Each structure stands twice: as C-alpha cells, then as structure tokens.
Amino acid sequence: MEKTRTLFDLQRLYATDPIEADRLVFGRESDPVTRRGFLRNAGLSAMAVVLGGSVVFAKDMPAGLIPALLLEGGDEDLLAKLGKDKGLIVLNDKPFNIETPAHLLDDDVTPETRMFLRNNGLIPTAVDVNTWTLTIDGEAVERKVSFSLKDLKTKFSHHTYRLVLECGGNGRAEFDPPAEGNQWTVGAVQCAEWTGVRLRDLLEKAGVKKNAVYIGYYGTDTHLSGDQDKVVISRGVPMGKALEDETLIAFAMNGKDIPLAHGFPLRLVAGGWPASVSGKWLKRIAVRDKVHDGPKMTGDSYKVPIEPVEPGTEVPEEKLRIIESMPVKSLITYPKSGASLVPGQKLNVRGHAWAGDLAVKEMHVSIDFGTTWLKASLLPPHNRLAWQRWSAELTFPKNGYYEVWARATDSEGHSQPMVVPGWNAKGYLNNACHRIAVRVK
C-alpha cells in the first residue's frame, strides 16, 4: 500500500515542506518543477480519494502545489469531507479523533454522520474489493485459511446486530490530574447496526486447537511515521468473546457498505468491549496460544490498575489488567445541555444506557444533585449488546438553575458513580453520571 496522507495531514505537510509532502503522499521522487512522470496510477488514485475526483490535468500540476480544495476550511469543512455532521468535535486530525456531542446521539441506530471516529493511524486509500482477502492463521489453528469478500457474502450465514462500540477513553477529560490521550467528554460511543458473518463460523474452517487462548487482528492502516511495515494497532479478545454469537466479521453498517473511515471493506466487531478490539480494514486474524501481544496490547495500553490507586500514581505493568467488558453507563440525549423552560413546564428527558457484556436493569434521574432519584422508564435492548432507550418526565419546583443527572444500574446491581471513578494514567473507564444544565425562568 502506497504512503498516503488525508485532508489535514496534506495541509500540514504541504505547508511545511511541499516537495517532501509529494514524496510522502505518493511514495516516489518528484521532478523539481512538475509532478510529471510520477503522479499516476496509485498516486492519482490516492489523490482522487481525497479530492473526490480525478485530477484532470495532473501531468501539468506543479510539484508541491497543494490542491485548492484543501487550501481553506476549518473543522466544519473537514467534517463535511468525512461525511460527518457539522456539530461533531474534532479533537485530533493526525490521526482522526472526532467526538459526537450527546444531543446528537439521540437515534436508536447511530447514523454514519453522527458516529464518533477514533483512528490510530492513517486511513488506507488503496482498497481493492476484488482482491481483498481475510486470512486466519496462527499457532493455535489446524490450518491456514483465506476468504475473499465474495466467499464471506455467499458461503456463510449473515447476521445483523446493533452493537455498542465505545472508546475505552470515553470520559477522559474529567480525570484530575489530567490523563494522557485525546480528551473525550462523553461522545465517543455509538450503536450502529452491523451485518456480517460470525467469527466462530470462520474459525471452524481453520480448526481451532485446544490450546487457543486469544485472537489478534491485523488491518491495513498506515503508521503515522509512514513506515509501511510498521503495524499501527493489533489488539484482540479471548476465545470466549471471539466465539460469541454477536462477534462479527462485518461487511455492512446500517444496511450499506462500511464507510472507509470506519473500516471498509471488512471490520471485526465485538460489542460491549473497548472499540479498539473491533479492528478496521481487516486482513488477518491470528489465533494465539497466549494473550495476544500486538501493538496496543502491551505496556499500559487499554489497561487499568488491578487495585485502586491514588491519583497520579505510577503503576507497573504487572499491576495492570486488560480492559474487557465496559462498565455500566448512560447518556442524556434530549434535551441539549442548557435547555430553558418556563415556570410550570414539564420536561421529557430521554437517552440511552448500556453495560458492556451485561444488560441495564434500572435507570434513574435526579434534579437535586443526586439527593433523590426518580425511576425512569427503560426499554429492553433490541438485541444483546445494544444500548437501551430510557425516558422520564420531570417537573421543577421553582425558577432557577438545575442539573439533570442520569444513573444506570446493570443486571448485576452495579450503578454509575456520581463522581469520576478509579483514576488511572490513561483515563480509561470513566462511567460517572452524565449531567446536563436546565434553566427555569
């Protein structure tokens, strides 16, 4: 796969060193005066993906000249080019980390336009569906097997599930002292509808050995360094999670091809666990006889202290555990924080709740900072590992400023805390109550 850069990466590269940018973007040396002689084939295809069409007079385009389409534009322009709602928040553009405000997550099935984006490397542009294959191998399978996209779509049963995918660092911005990483608030979560084949059906073809412990995925995203041989991220799950009904090798999202930024043409989807285990641009799954040790599986990546620690404490790796099922959590998706009411007006508040591998049993809301709680109406999930719709009608006793707090309780009796729980250096697993402001005046 040729070296590529996307939207904001191109802007930064061309602004600092346009000739070097040409080399990094297209992977070949350019003529000092024009791109003539190398801006063709893969290079033209890469640029066409970014610009939305081919460069008609490419042979006459001076070297180091940034396309005019990319000269201007802020976050709204970037979001539009990515097919995202203009209300989303760009936390980082190298790689893309884009958050969805809570009030834009009101849909039962999250549309692509309102879906958060968390990438670790650069989005691939050289995707050929006609030659794309998924290989399953590793020390814990009887045989190496490969499947084309056509094989997956014609030779196996298809299954569709709504599945919650949430970044392990969702809520990181609330940690004190501050935690490392993108400062997500509450919107790094989505519940789209995924269609594909069960991973276990493919593993049966490979013949899983009794010593199988873990699976690890490999995709085709490019490392930020541009090194084509460097793996960006390779995480995975234990065999128990890999063999669940809802763990899919997905080729469709919300009834259409998976969008490129979200893993086209193939993605591993394991709902209820950190979204980082749901590998994008999937090319290979290795079945391991040990806990997978790919990039972002070792050190302190996606791990939290085994025992509670004082904020700011450095914790050695042997005292950390890998994050598996995500904790119980909820969002207020209506109204938007800052809503204004007139005296006596009732407020119909609603949102979603989820609980990793578990279900949500009860939902409560409070308007007095958690002193008292009102039980909310709670619907069952559409299927296991989907979020659940909740709603409540609130009245406010007098004029003034209020906060509406939401608290979910899972099927094992665990409730959301009212304050940020379990400090850790990477800011994972914050499931404190979501709250919004309401004014009555």
pLDDT at 30 over 80: no
pLDDT at 141 over 60: yes
Confidence of residue 22 (pLDDT cuts 50, 70, 90): low
Among 307, 322, 337, give the residue marking a domain's end: 322
- Rg (alpha carbons) of the chain, rounded to whole number: 23
Range of weakest confidence among 73-82, 212-221, 331-340, 341-350? 73-82
Confidence of residue 38 (pLDDT cuts 50, 70, 90): very low
Confidence of residue 63 (pLDDT cuts 50, 70, 90): low
Confidence of residue 76 (pLDDT cuts 50, 70, 90): confident
**Domain match, 287 and 351 both:** no
Residue 139 lies in a domain: yes
Partners of 438 in the β-ladder? 339, 402
Integer Cα distance of 136 and 197 in angstroms? 14
Residue 167 lies in a domain: yes
Contact by Cβ (8 Å): 374, 365: yes
Residue 250 lies in a domain: yes
Residue 235 lies in a domain: yes
Return the top range by mean pLDDT from 15-19, 89-93, 194-198. Answer: 194-198
Confidence of residue 42 (pLDDT cuts 50, 70, 90): very low
Residue 78 lies in a domain: no
**Domain match, 300 and 349 both:** no
CATH code: domain of residue 167: 3.90.420.10
Q: What is the pTM of this model?
A: 0.84
**Domain match, 380 and 317 both:** no
Confidence of residue 125 (pLDDT cuts 50, 70, 90): confident
Q: What is the pLDDT of residue 3?
A: 31
Q: What is the pLDDT of residue 391?
A: 98
State the residue range of the domain holding 270.
112-322
CATH code: domain of residue 394: 2.60.40.650
What digits encode the pLDDT tens for the residues 319-378?
A: 999 999 999 999 999 999 999 999 999 999 999 999 999 999 999 999 999 999 999 999
Cβ-based neighbours of 141, under 8 Å, separated by 6 or more: 203, 206, 207, 208, 209, 212, 287
**Domain match, 336 and 426 both:** yes
Among 287, 322, 357, give the residue marking a domain's end: 322
**Domain match, 309 and 346 both:** no
- Residue the block writes with tokens 């009794």: 210
| Mean pLDDT across the chain | 88
**Domain match, 256 and 188 both:** yes
pLDDT at 190 over 60: yes
pLDDT at 219 over 70: yes
* DSSP per position, 302-317: TEEESS---TT----G
Cβ-based neighbours of 313, under 8 Å, separated by 6 or more: 305, 423
Residue 264 lies in a domain: yes
Q: What is the pLDDT of residue 415?
A: 98
- Number of domains making up the chain: 3
Residue 347 lies in a domain: yes
Cβ-based neighbours of 286, under 8 Å, separated by 6 or more: 136, 137, 138, 215, 216, 217, 218, 236, 292
**Domain match, 311 and 391 both:** no
**Domain match, 408 and 426 both:** yes
SS3 of the chain: helix, strand, coil, percent, to 5: 20, 30, 50
pLDDT, mean of residues 136-162:
98
